[in-house]
Chain A
Amino acid sequence: MELLDPAKQKRVFPDEMYEKLNGFVDDLDIDPADPRKKGNLIQVLRKGQQIFGYLPRELQEYVAVRLGIHHAEVSGVVSFYNFFTTTPKGEFTISVCMGTACYVNGADKILSQFERILGIKSGEVTEDRKFSIDSLRCVGACSLAPVVTINDKVYGRVAPQDVEKIIEDCLVQEEA
Chain B
Amino acid sequence: MEKIKTYQELTETHDKVKSLLDPRILLDRYQGKKREILVCGDTGCQASDSQKIVTRLNELILANNLEDTVSAKITGCFGFCEKGPIVKVFPDDVFYTQVTPEDADAIVENHIINNRVIQRLLFVHPETNQRIVPEKEIPFYQKQKRVALRNCGLIDPDNIYEYIANDGYMALGKVLNDMQSQDVINEIKAAGLRGRGGGGFPTGLKWEGALKNESDEKFIICNADEGDPGAFMDRSIMEGDPHSVLEAMTIAGYAIQSNKGYIYIRAEYPSCIARLKKAITQGEEIGFLGDNILGSGFDFTIELKYGAGAFICGEETALIHSIEGRRGEPTTKPPFPSDSGLWGKPTCVNNVETYANVCPIINKGADWYAGIGTETSKGTKVFALAGQINNTGLVEVPMGITLQEIVYDIGGGIQDNRRFKAVQTGGPSGGCITRANLETPIDYDSLAAIGSMMGSGGMIVLSEKDCIVNIAKFYLEFTVEESCGKCTPCRVGNKRLLEILEKITQGRGTMEDIETLKTLSEIIKDTSLCGLGQTTPNPVLSTLKYFEDEYITHVRDRKCPAGVCQKLITYEIVAEKCKGCTACSRLCPVGCISGAVKEAHVIDQELCIKCGVCFDKCKFTAIIRN
Contacts and interface: CB of A to CB of B under 8 A. Distances in A.
Contacts, number: 157
Given A39-B324, A81-B308, A109-B611, A98 B44 contact: no
Interface stretch (A8-16, A125-133, A153-161, A168-176): A153-161
A100 B424 contact: yes
Contacts of B393: 143
Contacts of B326: 38, 73, 77
B460 A161 contact: no
Interface in B334-372: 343
Contacts of B322: 42
A103 B47 contact: no
A100 B230 contact: yes
A101 B231 CA distance: 8
Interface residues of A, number: 51
B268 A80 contact: no
B392 interface: yes
Interface residues of B, number: 62
Interface in B37-51: 43-44, 46-48
A39 B309 contact: no
Interface stretch (B12-20, B274-282, B382-390): B382-390
A163 B613 CA distance: 13
Interface string B600-620: 000000000101010000000
B386 A142 contact: yes
Nearest to A139: B268
Interface string A56-94: 000000000000010001001100111110000000000
Contacts of B310: 80-83
Given A46-B308, A101-B460, A138 B230 contact: yes
A25 interface: no
A156 B267 contact: no
A20 interface: no
B466 interface: yes
B589 interface: yes
B235 interface: yes
A82 B484 CA distance: 11
B91 to A, nearest CB: 28
Given A103-B474, A136-B309, A160-B589, A112 B47 contact: no
B306 A46 contact: yes
B269 interface: yes
Contact of B386 (A42, A98, A100): A100
A161 B392 contact: no
B589 A82 contact: no
B232 A140 contact: yes
A84 B325 contact: no
A138 B229 contact: yes
25 contacts: A42-B322, A69-B325, A77-B326, A81-B308, A83-B308, A84-B308, A101-B230, A104-B387, A104-B460, A104-B471, A106-B611, A112-B609, A113-B609, A116-B609, A137-B309, A138-B231, A140-B235, A140-B268, A141-B232, A142-B44, A143-B81, A143-B393, A144-B81, A154-B43, A160-B611
The 9 closest A-B pairs by CB, nearest first: A99-B229, A100-B230, A143-B81, A38-B325, A81-B308, A101-B386, A82-B309, A154-B47, A83-B309
Interface of A: 36, 38-43, 45-46, 69, 73, 76-77, 80-84, 98-106, 109, 112-113, 116, 136-145, 147, 152, 154-156, 159-161, 163-164
